[in-house]
Amino acid sequence: MPLLNLETLSQNDLTSIERASLWATTFVAERAETWELERRFAKEGFESAAQHQLTGLLVPEIDGGEALSKIGLARVLEEIAATDFAIAFSLVCHNNLAGSVARNATGNLRSKMLPGLVTGTSLGAFLLTEPAVGSDAAAISVSAVQDGEEWILNGEKSWVTNGTDADLLSVYAQTDQSAGHRGIATFLVNANTPGVIKSPAYELIGGHGLGTNSITFENCRISEEDLFLPPGASFKAAMEGIDLARVLVSAMCCGMLRTALSTASSYVRNREAFGARLADLQGVRFKLADVATNLEASRLLTYQAVQSLEDDRDASVQAAHAKKFSTRVTEYGIASCMQVMGANGAKRDHPLPRHLAASRLTQYIDGATEIQDVVISRSLLD
């Protein structure tokens, strides 16, 4: 990993990276294909992640967390996604919520919600997107109406990662439609609260281990204490985390592409056709060389952006470049690696078909590719 200066990584970072890599190549590798073929949330994967101290990565040590740096977090997720993207992204969503609760919650709300998130006895989910609202997060319509010492939630959220099995829901809701994004507040809602209705998991091209679904609120009453981030602070907090989220997706793409290149390289070295190794054919060699170049470029863009975030510098354009490039070359690169393996590239006895499906999903997560183009072009032209 020549890109990273290991002196910038704490001992917590290094220990967590090593622990995550070992966990992924043993526990996850043996089960990831089953989660996908059975089209279900990777529940035992999350429970095992908790046992391996991977559910409080952004939480201070005083609260039982690992207190990782942003670079450390990106490397942890790259290692896990090299085996399975779905469980890696599930952990992103959970850890981001745990970190946010650690930073922003106070009093009874903090003491009630944080311990379960850190230990993994409570699975978290982030509810922002709605069926009619994709990337325009300011236009959400799920309503929160105050009634005495309670709030009443109504409306539907979509594309909820971890949603099928989540215990704690971080819900963005509009308290004052006339105020636009300034009226949006965030509530922490127990998923067992009356009025919370979970749909079955979506049938997707892949990534079923994410447990992605829709969640509807029908006159769901929650206490005033469950208000997590008030209007005025809520939307800003959501947007502040978007650059890191995009960089983390980029890091996970690097992990998947790395596995594809390693798998294909090993295959062509040991496969003969027309009296020679596949690895000796120039067409094969050059195709894999292109993948290797794109992987190097992707990692450079990714860790340049995450270093800027670590240094508290504006990384919005760097994050957009990293996510746009990494997601694009990962999908193309995995397909190229499968191609040099011939028909065997399509078999599910290796992770490439699963990674290819996941790479398509990365084009939409945390802002579609076209949103990255908006950010980049705005920096050039406005």
Percent of the chain, pLDDT > 70?
98
Q: Among 91-95, 106-110, 135-139, name the one with the lowest average pLDDT.
A: 135-139
What's domain 6-122's architecture?
Orthogonal Bundle (1.10)
Convert the pLDDT of each residue in 270-308 to its tens digit. 887 777 788 888 888 999 999 999 999 999 999 999 999
Predicted confidence (pLDDT) at residue 236 exceeds the cutoff of 70: yes
Q: List strand residue ranges (DSSP E) for the chain, in order.
A: 124-127, 143-147, 150-160, 168-174, 184-190, 196-198, 213-223, 227-229, 272-273, 276-277
Fold of 125-236: Butyryl-CoA Dehydrogenase, subunit A; domain 2 (2.40.110)
Predicted confidence (pLDDT) per residue in 134-186, tens digit: 667 778 999 999 999 999 999 999 999 999 999 999 999 999 988 888 999 99
R_g (Cα) of the chain, nearest Å: 21
Q: Predicted confidence band at 73 (pLDDT cuts at 50, 70, 90)?
A: very high
CATH of domain 241-381: 1.20.140.10
Tokens 């990831």, located at residue: 32
* pLDDT on residue 229: 94
> What pLDDT does residue 376 have?
95
Q: DSSP class of residue 127?
A: E
Residues 6+ positions from 306 with CB-CB distance below 8 Å: 70, 71, 74, 244, 247, 251, 315
pLDDT of residue 245: 92
Ordered by start, the domain boundaries in the chain are 6-122, 125-236, 241-381
Instruction: Summarize the confidence of residues 53-81 as an average pLDDT.
Output: 96
Instruction: Tell me the pLDDT tens digit for each residue of 263-274.
Output: 999 999 988 777
Strands 227-229 and 272-273: unpaired
pLDDT, the chain, mean: 93
Q: Please give the pLDDT value at position 238.
A: 82
Token reading at 372: 């990255």
pLDDT, tens digit, 9 for 90 and up, residues 20-29: 999 999 999 9
Give the per-residue pLDDT at 7.
60
For residue 233, pLDDT over 80 is answered with yes
Give me the mean pLDDT over the 248-259 stretch.
98
Nearest to 301 by CA among 320, 288, 280: 320
